[in-house]
Amino acid sequence: MEKQSAFNIHPMDQFIIDPILTGENLEWYSFTNQALWMLISLVSISFVFIYGSRKHQLVPGRLQSIAELLYFFIRDMIIDIVGQEGLRYFPYIFTLFILILFGNVLGLLPYSFTYTSHIAVTGFLALSVFIAVTIIGFVKNGFGFLSLFWISSAPLALRPILLIIEVISYFVRPVSHSIRLAGNMMAGHAVIKVFAGFAGALGIGAIAPIFAITAVYGLEMLVVVIQAYVFTILTCVYLNDALHPGH
């Protein structure tokens, strides 16, 4: 959509996927900026966890305590929501959390690319959670898993209506799970870019938008961490539904 206005702001341009090594066209083998930033996040995750857990000091150093904090944060979350038997799925949930957290936080660097702002990425993550949780539910409970939709504590006349509502809400889960993360990332980064566009247009009067960017940036630091937390905690809630469908 070509439009020219007084303020030349393109807040959505930062989400364009560019091939950066393999020519102009976007092919299936192209090395894109998305792949580059996923690689950077992989390298930084490996650095924090391999270098952080190398020395095993009793009194942890800085990097070791970051790694330990993240580890025990997710471990306690799983024990709180799912219970002890949820710890079998700890590696998967921890991987999800770390991948999303590093993607979100690295996306706040200037000139970087936020891979979690694309529904292609978050949709894949949410769909894999959905499929995994459904399979776990049927494997652990057999057809008893379907009692998740048939709420026995409700009055009998209401149960068919609740059945329809529960089935719909079950299948909407991957949609809301993925769009929540992608939408939050996209909206937040676009807001920062819009204020940056104001600063560029105002010239010497740009001090007000710069203060606004600082404030929004602080808010975004909070939002990116909370969204990674929310994605993980909802994964735990869905897993709890699969393991204990009766209530």
Q: Shortest approach of another protein to residue 21 CB, angstroms? A: 27
Q: Shortest approach of another protein to residue 185 CB, angstroms? A: 11
Q: Does 224 bind another protein (CB under 8 A)?
A: no
CA angle 180, 188, 42 (to 5 degrees): 75
Residue with Cβ nearer another protein (3 or 62): 3
Radius of gyration of the chain (CA): 22
Q: Does 229 bind another protein (CB under 8 A)?
A: yes
Q: Shortest approach of another protein to residue 119 CB, angstroms? A: 9
Q: Does 81 bind another protein (CB under 8 A)?
A: yes
Q: Does 184 bind another protein (CB under 8 A)?
A: yes
Q: Does 187 bind another protein (CB under 8 A)?
A: yes
Q: Shortest approach of another protein to residue 33 CB, angstroms? A: 19
Q: What residues pair up with 19 in beta bridges, in sequence order?
A: 32
Write out the two tokens for 88.
């079998």
Q: Does 193 bind another protein (CB under 8 A)?
A: no
Q: Does 14 bind another protein (CB under 8 A)?
A: no
Contacts of 56 (CB under 8 A, 6+ apart): 64
Contact 242, 133 (CB under 8 A): yes
Q: Which of 16, 42, 154, 226 binds another protein (CB under 8 A)?
A: 226
Q: Which of 19, 183, 197, 245 binds another protein (CB under 8 A)?
A: 183
Interatomic CA distance for residues 233 and 93, integer angstroms: 9
Q: Which of 74, 82, 101, 234 binds another protein (CB under 8 A)?
A: 234
Q: Dihedral of the CA atoms 71, 74, 80, 84 (nearest 10)? A: -60
Sign of CA pseudo-dihedral 88, 94, 95, 96: positive
**Terminal alpha carbon distance of the chain:** 50
Binding segment for another protein among 23-31, 48-56, 140-148, 177-185 (CB under 8 A)? 177-185
Residue 59 amino acid letter: V
CB atoms within 10 A of CB 235: 26
Q: Shortest approach of another protein to residue 184 CB, angstroms? A: 7
Interatomic CA distance for residues 34 and 65, integer angstroms: 30
Residue with Cβ nearer another protein (10 or 88): 10
Residue with Cβ nearer another protein (60 or 123): 123
Q: Which of 44, 147, 176, 214 binds another protein (CB under 8 A)?
A: 176
Strands (E), the chain: none
Binding site for another protein (CB under 8 A): 1, 12, 77, 80-81, 176, 179-180, 183-184, 186-187, 226, 229-230, 233-234, 237
